[in-house]
Amino acid sequence: MIAPLITLPTFITLIVLFIWTASSGIFIDNDYNENENNNGDENNNGDGEGRYWDWDFNMRDEELEAVKILLNLFILVVACATLLVPIGKAGTGIYERFNEGVLCAAMFMFGNMLFASFWYLANFGRQEEEEENNQNNDNGYNNYNQSYWTLDERELLAYHQKVVSYVTLALAFAFFSVSACIHGGASILPETGSTNRVPQSQDQTLVAMQYDRMSEMWTLLSLCSALIFVALFLAACILLGGDEGERMNEDGEVVSLITVLTWLTIVTAVLMAWGNEVFNVKSSGSLGVGMLYGGTKYFAALLFMVCALFANLSLDEHEREEGCWVASATSVACFVLSLLYLLFSTRTRKYQVSLIDSNAEMVKAGDFVRVV
């Protein structure tokens, strides 16, 4: 199977990036180092430089951004590890197409998590500033090839952002490709586990009731999500055009917010299309139900990651007040929606047999049995 071949190397790559960022020179108390060096004391950490780790809560902007990179990578590592569950269940069970659908959607949504990380870390707002600095720097070539440990905190942060963003972009396209391959193979599988069923009026009524409730929940959740993301996107665009947005966008925060919100809106539209096939068209069978379950589950993880990326982690009250209010609103909205999508995914898992039977218009007499 192709899924483990991409998942395991990705898991290792993300762990390496996490350790590399955590051990970088960004989290260093330079003030303390300067005082020690001025006093004539030479203290080294093994690399020939007098550097001291500073993990207190009074962090600088560069340290706060580095913490967000670490949070981003940690969430990606955990999400990547959980992919082993649908990988192990794929191709097994009575509803084989359901399990294949779960894996297909999980790989697709994890690719979107990687892609959203790229949009956030690409930091398009700094590109013009970096290009201008390179043009004004006569020793640009030498500075580009200088030692990694001689870079200052801002340069280190930009370097880590660039490396992590490019790696996540490459991995995102790999997961999109694997998801497409899985969907293509699952779509030709026969629908099993739903044959020779004798419908009974009591079971039909109960199944129809659960199906209608899930359909109403999905309609409300998907429409609210789309409206919230569109509203936040418009607010961010309006903010970018004002003087306050220009001040806040010195580090590319508003531009990153707009790109991530745009991508979330697109992913929400894809999820709405999957839900439409399950609840309205009723033509996707167990594959569509599996994709809806896996998609909502990992979409919740994507929203939680966006919540962490745009959360205001500063403990300074003045800096919190100067933060982008649209970013804070996005963080809160994504956290709430993440919980709602997680709740919906658990309901989908609980009533997966009812949804499959209603979607395929085949109802089985007797009690419901949850099949994975």
Low-confidence ranges of the chain (pLDDT < 70): 1, 25, 27-59, 93-94, 123-150, 192-204, 207, 241-252, 282-284, 313-323, 359-372
Residue 150 lies in a domain: yes
| C-alpha span between 308 and 321 (Å, rounded) | 18
The 10 Å CB-count burial string (b at 16+, else e) for 43-61 is eeeeeeebbeebeeeebbe
The model's pLDDT over 53-75, given as tens digits with 9 standing for 90+, comes to 444 455 677 788 888 999 999 99
Q: 371 in a domain, yes or no?
A: no
What local confidence, expressed as pLDDT, does residue 75 receive? Answer: 96
Residue 22, Ramachandran bin (φ over 0: left; ψ between -120 and 50: alpha; else beta): alpha
pLDDT given at position 361:
55
Residue 136: the pLDDT is 45
Q: 176 in a domain, yes or no? A: yes
**CA dist 69 to 29, 76, 117, 262, 323, Å?**
19, 11, 9, 21, 18
Q: In 3D, which of 237, 261, 239 has the Cα closest to residue 310?
A: 261
Distance between CA 299 and CA 290 in Å, rounded?
14
Instruction: Tell whether 367 is covered by a domain.
Output: no
Residue 372 lies in a domain: no
Res 250: pLDDT: 56
Domain that holds residue 213: 2-38+52-192+200-359
**DSSP class of residue 124?**
G
Tell whether 85 is covered by a domain: yes
Task: Kindly list the distances between the CA atom of residue 321 and the CA atoms of 17, 65, 87, 239, in Å, as whole numbers in the listed order.
Answer: 32, 17, 45, 16
Q: Which tens digits make up the pLDDT trace of 19-40?
A: 998 887 676 655 444 444 444 4
Please report where in the chains the tokens 């030498």 appear, as a residue: 142
Residue 109 lies in a domain: yes
Q: What is the pLDDT of residue 59?
A: 63
- Contact between 364 and 197 under an 8 Å Cβ cutoff? The reply is yes
pTM comes to: 0.82
How many domains does the chain contain in total?
1
Burial 163-187 (b: 16+ CB within 10 A, else e): ebbebbbebbebbbebbeebbeebe
pLDDT in the model for residue 213: 85
Quick one: pLDDT at residue 48?
Answer: 42
Q: Is residue 47 part of a domain?
A: no
